[in-house]
Structure 1
Amino acid sequence: MRIWRFTCFSLLFGFLLSSVPELTGSAELKIAVEFGTTIRINTSAGKTPQCKVCIRPNTQQLCQSSVVLRSDTLLDFSCSQPENVFTVQIISDNVIYNIEPKEHKALQKFNRTFIWNLKPPATKSLHLNFSSTGLLQIQPTDSCPDKHVYMLAVENVSIGRFCQNGTIRQVDVRNAGKLSLEVSGGRALDKKFIGVSLGRLINSLANFHVVLPEKSSTQDFFAPNAFPENTETMWYFTVPQTYYTDVHILSYTVPTCLQPENIPTMKYTWQGKEPLVKLMNVSQPSVEPGNFNLSIKNCKMSGPQPPSQGLMVHFQISAIKRSKGRYHKLFIFIIRIVKKKRNKTPPVSVYNPGEHAFLPGLHGIPKAQEEEEDPHTYVYIDETLVYSHLLNYDAEKEEYKEATTDESDPPLSAPALPVRNAENLVTKSNALLDNELCGYVQGQSTTSGSPKTSEEEGNYETRLCV
């Protein structure tokens, strides 16, 4: 009996102990709040407020479903696991300088959202430098593997959701905006530095600066949700030197415009080229090298339209390495080698430039030459023309004698040319010297009658040297 009573008592006591945390459990946290920072602790959406958060501003404890902290505070929760009920927002206002996320160890178990309110001067824009993180744009319902999700809003318009380790290196925003970082409960904050600087005022809602990697890749981009009317968004793409890009629109919707001719389009600009404007229902640029800009501008709408019928564009940029020689032009040079024909004939005699050229004793009488050639060679020499102007004809003795050089003598007249029988010329040539050609011409002078006697017959020998 005693054993039974002891067993029943032990079971009852154990049951009561197991029920105590659910009935009477609580948690206490000491929160440190930095100057210029506000911490909001709210009940998670869709959660029934079964747990309260309590503070002691004075001596009396105040418990409620949410609380706003602006200074160091000691918190009490009416449940043992408040991280399952509450979410935390850590807000920094009027950010115009560099952002350095800071962890709150006491709140690490909660789902946390770090918010930086961006407020540049009216005449400036803010440049957010994400070089240390890199942003990758994702769908509104997607999450990130490392449980860190960035969100950017400008003028109460959601620009997009992003993961780390992407190709977006910088975002420029005009007017007031908000940068948020969601970190899941239990995950340590990745303290990535974000550079903030002021720049010239931009006309577009936001500018995205994208640096494509030096490898074949595909990146997705989305136009802002609830794209305001008559507003523009710009993307600046830096493409590696040995790559080209293809653009594809995966899905889109366009609103009903007040002026149908102003329907939203894709406008591409390459350096040194005229802008290229494409409708969204046609093929986009393909196999294009070089950096380029892309702008999407919404039209002025005919009236209020639901978000599902507003402007929405999901496009894709593919970077592909150029194959060797694809953009290298092939130049073929045809070299024509023309062998200049060597002219082996000597220069033309100044005495007979119109005759055919030949080299005495070597080539014989040459064939007729083409008119365009100018051989500048020696020609066939008629011995009767050689030195004939230096001889005087004695009519009485019918013989030639050497002319005198007396100035009183009458001028020499050209003698009658002797007539030769049909016989071939015989030439004798001595050894040729450099730049000199010498030859002997031997023949017999005759007249049209019978051969002359030995006294009348004149054998002569002529030597020509040049």
Structure 2
Amino acid sequence: MSANYPFSFPEDELMTWQFVIPAHLRASVSFLQFNNSNCAKKEERVEYYIPGSTTNPEVFKLADKQPGNMAGNFNLSLQGCDQDAQNPGILRLKFQVLVQCPQNESNVTYEVDLSNERAMSITIEPRPVKLSRRFVPGCFVCLESRTCSTNLTLTHGSKHRISFLCDDLTRLWMNVEKTISCMDHRYCHRRSYSLQVPRDILQLPVQLHDFSWKLRVPKDRLSLALVPAQKLQQHTQERFCNTSFSYLVAGAGPGQDLYFGSFCAGGSIEQIQVKQNVSVTLRTFAPSFQQELSRQALTVTFIPYFKEEGIFTVTPDMKSKVYLMTPNWERGLPSLASVSWNISVPSDQVAYLTFLKERTGLVCQTGRAFMIIQEQRTKAEQIFSLEEVLPKSRPHHHNFWVNISNCSPVSGKQLDLLFQVSLTWRTLDMTVILIAVVGGGALLLFALGLIICLVKKNRKKKMNKGPAIGIYNGNINTQIPMQPKKFPNVQKDNDAHVYAVIDDTMVYGHLLQDSNGSFVQPEVDTYRPFQGPTEDCPPSFLIPYSKVPTVKLTTEESAPGFNPESDSEPYTFSHPSKQDGSNGNTDIPLLDAHEPAETGE
């Protein structure tokens, strides 16, 4: 302590302390309390005389950071000034000298190059610890190996050489802050920046605690999109982030008290879009974060402005459930704020949206709080009031939106929603399965029937293609049984030539004898005379099964429209239908595709 402490040090006096310290130890000076008097002449100061220093004496103001990491003996002097007679003030000083055994790090100098950085600062400071009454050695950061203090801030635009005088470097950590701003929306549109920690910071022997990027955009002109190299998971009560680091996303502008949440690698969130200025903080929890950080990167892109507070793009998978919650968890979504989730569903899977509580407990003072669930393919919307019961879990077969909009709630009633999305394999409905089975069975029966019909038809064709056996009979009786009339003899010089087509059983009927030697009479075709025109040649073979009507011809009429055919064409006999014998009409319609022309008598 200075002379007369706690009262004023004498005016314009010099007081010196000589410290004798072994050369292998290091000494650091820190001022615990001091006051400056009102000087009329000269200036109050402290001077250090350090053996071997080329800058002796080293002069500091009382408000400056005092030297540290001094090896061996040194002198410290306090110099007063000529005080103002009207208002002299008080000059007093209380300080401490900490002597430590140097660690390996005290002999190593680290260079931190911030000359190419803009709007960036690094602060090295002690971790918060519980107060203890036992002695704790000091932990100092030294700039240029002389200016040592428990707190050190490095600014952008220059290179810094630092060393450490500390018995345990785990008692220190770093907090870094960098601002990325772009106020010209025409220049910034669609520009991207990579949010990565510089190597100069990672090579320092103290742990990085926070690295915060302050992202600023022109108001109501641009918004921001955060895209991670690996999909992110939101830290919730149901699923904690068990990783060595995470990203904290929060509003950064004045009045933007909006905390989007904490996110870590290994989830289903592909993108986070925010409306306005935002702060993205990389927070570490273990020294192993550097190995994991090399596989994780975050890219920010300036995108067109949108009105919602945030939009999350989520792509779930079958491995685990996805838990999502509204921003400002446990503090409530801000009044009149709106947040959306764009949830993707694979084509062969079904998504189930489940809310983890039945009611929100929200009471609106003005406006309405509602939730919209919209299928992106069908554009079908479902609107639910958040003051009522939340919807039950239901399947979604296509990509869908979940939009939550808040009202102005009554004091003490806040909107907090936690929900999950899970995927299952898509299964066919039982009705669809039954219809498919019945339809498939019917199709199979139809195919079998068609095959049977085709086989029978082909077999019949093969049987009909066999050569017909004809027996010529020149003296055949052309009179139809039970019919007195005969065929008109058109050609008087030629006898009527009639061929009767006889079935195989008529020729080989003797093979049908029974055991007694008597014949079993086979069925034979009935003889039927031709009722058409009796010209030199018979009509040509007509197309079978034709349903085109034809004109009937009487026995006295003839159809001159028939062309003569060659002798090689077969004769055809029609089978008359059963008629009453008293009815003398024996006209048989011709099965022709063309209607014969009628001629006058």
**Residue identity in the other structure for 2:316:** L
Q: CA RMSD in A?
A: 4.1
Which residue of structure 1 aligns with residue 161 of structure 2? Answer: 74
**Residue identity in the other structure for 2:192:** Y
1:33-432 equivalences in 2 (<5 Å): 33-34=113-114, 35-36=117-118, 37-47=120-130, 51=138, 53-56=140-143, 61=147, 63-65=149-151, 67-70=153-156, 71-84=158-171, 86-94=172-180, 97-99=192-194, 100-103=196-199, 104-122=201-219, 123-130=221-228, 132-139=229-236, 144-154=241-251, 155-189=256-290, 190-191=293-294, 192-213=296-317, 215=318, 217-225=320-328, 226=331, 227-251=333-357, 253-259=360-366, 262-265=368-371, 267-279=373-385, 281-303=389-411, 305=412, 309-323=413-427, 328=432, 330-331=435-436, 332-333=438-439, 334=442
**Residue identity in the other structure for 1:151:** L
**Residue pair 1:210, 1:235 contacting (<8 A) in 2 also:** yes
**Residue pair 1:246, 1:285 contacting (<8 A) in 2 also:** yes
Aligned mates of 1:266, 1:463 — CA distance in 2: 83
| Change in 2 beyond 3 A, CA 1:75/1:64 | same
Query: TM-score normalised to the size of structure 1?
Result: 0.61
CA shift at 1:116, angstroms?
Answer: 1.5
Aligned mates of 1:270, 1:216 — CA distance in 2: 24
* SS of the residue 2:193 aligns to: coil
Which residue of structure 1 aligns with residue 186 of structure 2? Answer: none
**Residue pair 2:142, 2:165 contacting (<8 A) in 1 also:** no
* SS of the residue 1:262 aligns to: coil
CA-to-aligned-CA distance 1:55-83 (integer Å, 9 cap, x gap): 448x9735244535434323354532233
| Change in 2 beyond 3 A, CA 1:326/1:117 | farther
CA-to-aligned-CA distance 1:323-381 (integer Å, 9 cap, x gap): 36669553434477799xxxxxxxxxxxxxxxxxxxxxxxxxxxxxxxxxxxxxxx999
CA-to-aligned-CA distance 1:112-145 (integer Å, 9 cap, x gap): 2221211233311111112x22101112798643
Aligned mates of 1:73, 1:112 — CA distance in 2: 20
Aligned mates of 1:313, 1:258 — CA distance in 2: 19
CA shift at 1:235, angstroms?
Answer: 0.5
| Change in 2 beyond 3 A, CA 1:93/1:267 | same
CA shift at 1:232, angstroms?
Answer: 0.7
CA-to-aligned-CA distance 1:18-52 (integer Å, 9 cap, x gap): xxxx9614554524143123112233335559645
Which residue of structure 1 aligns with residue 59 of structure 2? Answer: none
CA-to-aligned-CA distance 1:163-205 (integer Å, 9 cap, x gap): 1021111111111001111123522421323232222211111
**Residue identity in the other structure for 1:242:** D
**Residue identity in the other structure for 1:24:** Q
Tell me if 1:30 matches 2:128: no
| Change in 2 beyond 3 A, CA 1:249/1:74 | same
CA shift at 1:311, angstroms?
Answer: 1.6
Size of the alignment, in residue pairs? 338
**Residue pair 1:152, 1:180 contacting (<8 A) in 2 also:** yes
Aligned mates of 2:167, 2:361 — CA distance in 1: 50
CA shift at 1:239, angstroms?
Answer: 0.9
Aligned mates of 1:229, 1:115 — CA distance in 2: 27
| Change in 2 beyond 3 A, CA 1:253/1:62 | farther
| Change in 2 beyond 3 A, CA 1:319/1:78 | same
Percent of paired sites with the same residue = 16
| Change in 2 beyond 3 A, CA 1:218/1:276 | same
CA shift at 1:241, angstroms?
Answer: 0.8
CA shift at 1:88, angstroms?
Answer: 1.2
Aligned mates of 1:196, 1:311 — CA distance in 2: 29
Aligned mates of 1:139, 1:273 — CA distance in 2: 31
| Change in 2 beyond 3 A, CA 1:54/1:48 | farther
Deviates more, 1:279-288 or 1:316-325: 279-288
Aligned mates of 1:322, 1:464 — CA distance in 2: 70
CA shift at 1:101, angstroms?
Answer: 3.1
| Change in 2 beyond 3 A, CA 1:316/1:186 | same
Query: TM-score normalised to the size of structure 2?
Result: 0.49
Aligned mates of 2:481, 2:304 — CA distance in 1: 94
Deviates more, 1:93-102 or 1:201-210: 93-102
**Residue identity in the other structure for 2:421:** I
* SS of the residue 2:321 aligns to: strand
**Bigger relative CO (Cα 8 Å, ≥ 6 apart):** 1
CA shift at 1:284, angstroms?
Answer: 3.1
* SS of the residue 1:178 aligns to: strand
Aligned mates of 1:289, 1:463 — CA distance in 2: 73
**Residue identity in the other structure for 2:197:** P
| Change in 2 beyond 3 A, CA 1:97/1:254 | farther
**Residue pair 2:154, 2:160 contacting (<8 A) in 1 also:** no
| Change in 2 beyond 3 A, CA 1:101/1:434 | farther
Aligned mates of 2:153, 2:575 — CA distance in 1: 129
Aligned mates of 1:218, 1:463 — CA distance in 2: 88
CA-to-aligned-CA distance 1:200-247 (integer Å, 9 cap, x gap): 21111111111122x353111111113211001111011111111111
**Residue pair 2:123, 2:151 contacting (<8 A) in 1 also:** no
**Residue pair 1:129, 1:196 contacting (<8 A) in 2 also:** yes
**Residue identity in the other structure for 1:88:** M
**Residue pair 2:260, 2:327 contacting (<8 A) in 1 also:** yes
CA shift at 1:156, angstroms?
Answer: 3.8
**Residue identity in the other structure for 2:269:** I
